[in-house]
Structure 1
Amino acid sequence: MAIERKPIRRGGIRSAGYDRGARVLEVEFDNGSVVQHSGVGDEIGRRFLASASPMSYYKDNIEEEFTIRRIK
């Protein structure tokens, strides 16, 4: 599944994208690793992508709440 990521470049996150239909959030970190979280609701996805502090939002609301799969 290819998800289009947009640059974020804040707080350790290089880019991220969200697929509403599949409910999958994909995050690329500054270290080059890429993960996908499944079952992420639209509201969480939108708030994460719009967050002024995306890493904090990720750690507080996504990291341990949704199934994770390492892509790279």
Structure 2
Amino acid sequence: MPKTYAAPAAFSEKPFIAIPMTPVESRQVAAVGYDAARKTLAVTFKRGPGHIYHYPDCDAKLHADFMAADSKGVFFTERIKPLAFDKFPAPVAA
């Protein structure tokens, strides 16, 4: 029987606020950013078109633990993926 997948999440209607991203060593995660003032974690992935996911209400410790994780993919799946998020389109290359 073929595997079924959930429909992709819709883009957020909230205004996009850019968060500086740091590339990371991972087979799954491309880059991670954190806005301490807004307590927002930003993540992009290696697969797909490069959409940006913002995870609100994340504390600095979660970000630090994510950046220090031996496996960013496992950490993301276990600790971040279940959280609420806002999805924004990939930035347009200039």
Please point out which of 54, 64, 86 is paired with 1:46.
64
TM-score (norm 2): 0.69
Residue number in structure 1 paired with 2:52:
34
Q: Percent identity?
A: 20
Q: Deviation of residue 24 (structure 1)?
A: 0.4
Q: How does 1:52-63 map to 2 (within 5 A)?
A: 52-63=70-81
How many residues in Structure 1 have an aligned counterpart in Structure 2?
A: 71
Are 1:36 and 1:70, in contact at CA under 8 Å, matched by a contact in 2?
A: yes
Are 1:39 and 1:67, in contact at CA under 8 Å, matched by a contact in 2?
A: no
The runs of 5 or more residues in structure 2 that have no matched partner are: 1-16, 90-94
Q: Which has the higher helix share?
A: 1
Q: Which has the higher strand share?
A: 1
In 2: Cα distance, 1:33 partner to 1:20 partner: 21
Which of the two has higher C-alpha Rg?
Answer: 2
The runs of 5 or more residues in structure 1 that have no matched partner are: none
RMSD of aligned Cα (Å): 1.1
TM-score (norm 1): 0.88
Q: Secondary structure at the match of 2:70?
A: coil
Name segments (4+ residues, structure 1) moved above 4 Å.
Answer: none
